[in-house]
Every structure is written in structure tokens, then in C-alpha cells.
Amino acid sequence: MKRIIWLSAALLALAGVAGAGGPGTTGASFLKVGVGARELALGSAASSLTEGANSVNWNPAGLAGLKTRDVSASYNMLFIDESQGFLGYAAPVGGGSGVFGIGVNYLTVRDIEKRASDTDSPDSKFNNNNTAATISYARAEVRPGLAVGGNVKYVEQKLDSQSDKAVALDLGTTYAAGKGWTAAFVVQNLGGRIGPDRLPLTLKGGASRRFLDGKLAAAADVDWLVYDERAYLDLGGEYTLGKYLALRAGYQFGRGADDLGSGLVGLGAGVGIRYESFKLDYAYVPFGDLGDTHRMTFGFVF
């Protein structure tokens, strides 16, 4: 545990130095948009609860407990002409050498109107395409109860004829503390710049506990967006009914600072269905004046 505390302190210090210049614009903002219906239904309180291939997006250390191969696919129609998707795969390596994963996350805004002057009709239309391709590795029991994981990400954003690229790292840990408790710490988007802007460096720390023989899980996370100088508190819970159905709800406090207007901004709610090797998760996530979003994730283990 002392090693975890010192590691966390060192990473926090590093992030503090990196953000010493104050709040500013970050690039590749799509990396701040959550992926995975289960995790979003939990109000993003997922650093210690995420599992399977979706762990690539939340905490790569969550891959470490995987015993079978796992495929995850998400597609979300967010707002008008804006869509997001993710495809991930993870599998354990023989001999207990760890778990490898890969994932591709994209967000596209289509049919943006282009004008050279103030006219009723656009001269043309173009798209804004954002992509992150990730390679992950995680290993359990590095120390008793401690799992670690890391991502290497290739990030690209295209706006009309402009294209910017960057490489980023994610680092994550989970620690099973006993009596149903799990703690987690994650650093996301550690890297340089993409175009003129810095990558959206994010720190996540959280803990969860399971009750009722594992049927009920409650979790809390704190997210710190270093360069935006913005923090969120995430609270979420999941209750499993029998073998096939899970009910989830959560709330992300601090969304009022995002200027999204009235409404249930920060809320997450959803259900999960499991049948043999198949998984289907749904989340309802409102975004105030921008409208409501409905997230779907399909998974398969084999």
C-alpha cells in the first residue's frame, strides 16, 4: 500500500507541475467524452469497477482480471450529425503473463457548413473526424492485491483539410483492499500537444465496495482535468438481479460548470443484460440544452 501512496503522490506532483500555467484550451476534446454504457450509467464512477475490453477507456488495470477473451462494441448517436463509437478486444496471455487489449475510439461531426462569405447557402460541407487507437497491457498481482495497466494511444483529429496527430499514455492501478473494497488511480492522456493545444490530461482516483454477497456495488470517483482546472465527483451504484439483469444509476457532480443549461446534467442511469456469452448495456445520459443521449454497448466473451 505504501508503494501505491508514493506512486499516486508522484503522479499528482507531476500533473501539478504540468498544469502550473493555469487553465487553457486542450485539443482532442473527444477524449473527455466517456465510452461504454455500463460506466456512464454509473455516473462515470468506474475507475475501480470497469471490466473487460471497456477498461481500455477507463482504467487499463481493469483488464488484469480478465480470464476469457472479450469483445466490446459501442455506438452512440450523440446529437445532430454527431456520432461516437468504440470497438475493443482483450485477451489473457498464456502462462499468467498478463492481458493485452486493443481499442479504437472515434467521434465524428458530419456536414459542417463552410462559407467564404455571409451567404444563405454554404459553399461546401466538411466533417470533423477524431480517432484514438490504443494498445493496452495489464497484469494482476504485481503485489498482493495490486494490478497495474498501461495504454499507448495514437490520437488524430481532422478538421476539413487540417490534420493533427499525437501519442499519449494512460497509466492505471487497482488495489483489492479486502472486505469488498477496491481502490483505483488513473492518469489519462499523458503526453505533449496535438496541434497547438495540449492533450486533456486527466487524473482519476476512486474506490468501490461490494455488499450483499457481491450483488450490490457502490463506487465514488474524483476526476481532475488538469489543464481545464475542473473537477468532478462521481457517485454510482449497481445492483444485480439474478444472473441476467443489472440496474445502475449514478451522478457526476460539477457538471454545472460546463454551461450546458438546465436539466439533469450529470445523471446516468441504465440496465445491463447478460445471457450466456452475450452482454448488452444501455445508459441514459442527459446533456441539458444539448439534449438527451442514449448509449448502447454490446459485448461478447469467449
Condensed to tens digits (0 to 9), the pLDDT of residues 45-73 reads 999 999 999 999 999 999 998 999 999 99
Q: Say how far apart CA 61 and CA 48 lie, in whole Å.
A: 9
DSSP state of 200: -
Range 214-236 average pLDDT: 95
Could you tell me if residue 258 is inside a domain? no
Model confidence at 159: pLDDT above 80? yes
Model confidence at 26: pLDDT above 70? yes
pLDDT attached to residue 256: 66
Number of domains in the chain: 1
Could you tell me if residue 288 is inside a domain? no
pLDDT confidence tier of residue 263, bands split at 50, 70 and 90: low
Length of the chain: 302
What whole-number percentage of the chain has pLDDT above 90?
A: 66
Could you tell me if residue 249 is inside a domain? no
Answer whether 86's CB lies under 8 Å from 36's CB.
yes
| Out of 13-17, 105-109, 200-204, 242-246, least confident range | 13-17
Could you tell me if residue 125 is inside a domain? yes
Beta-carbon contacts of 58 under 8 Å, excluding residues fewer than 6 positions away, are 36, 39, 46, 47, 50, 186, 204
Could you tell me if residue 123 is inside a domain? yes
156-183: b (≥16 Cβ within 10 Å) or e: bbbeeeeebebebebbbbbbbeeebebb
What whole-number percentage of the chain has pLDDT above 70?
A: 89
pLDDT attached to residue 4: 42
pLDDT attached to residue 7: 42
Which residue, 151, 189, 174, is CA-closest to 221?
174
Range 149-174 average pLDDT: 94
pLDDT confidence tier of residue 140, bands split at 50, 70 and 90: very high
Range 296-302 average pLDDT: 94
Range 96-108 average pLDDT: 93
Q: How far is CA 84 from the centre of its chain?
A: 13
Could you tell me if residue 76 is inside a domain? yes
Which residue, 64, 41, 40, is CA-closest to 53?
64
pLDDT confidence tier of residue 13, bands split at 50, 70 and 90: very low
Average pLDDT value for the chain:
87
Could you tell me if residue 272 is inside a domain? no
Domain membership of residue 217 as a residue range = 2-240
pLDDT attached to residue 219: 97
Q: Which three cell numbers stand for residue 157?
A: 483529429
| Out of 31-35, 69-73, 227-231, 259-263, least confident range | 259-263
Work out the angle at residue 189's Cα, subtended by the Cα atoms of residues 92 and 223, and round it to the nearest 5 degrees: 95
pLDDT attached to residue 160: 80
pLDDT attached to residue 78: 80
How far CA 224 is from CA of 24, 101, 298, in Å, comes to 14, 25, 29
pLDDT confidence tier of residue 245, bands split at 50, 70 and 90: very high
Beta-carbon contacts of 9 under 8 Å, excluding residues fewer than 6 positions away, are none
Could you tell me if residue 189 is inside a domain? yes
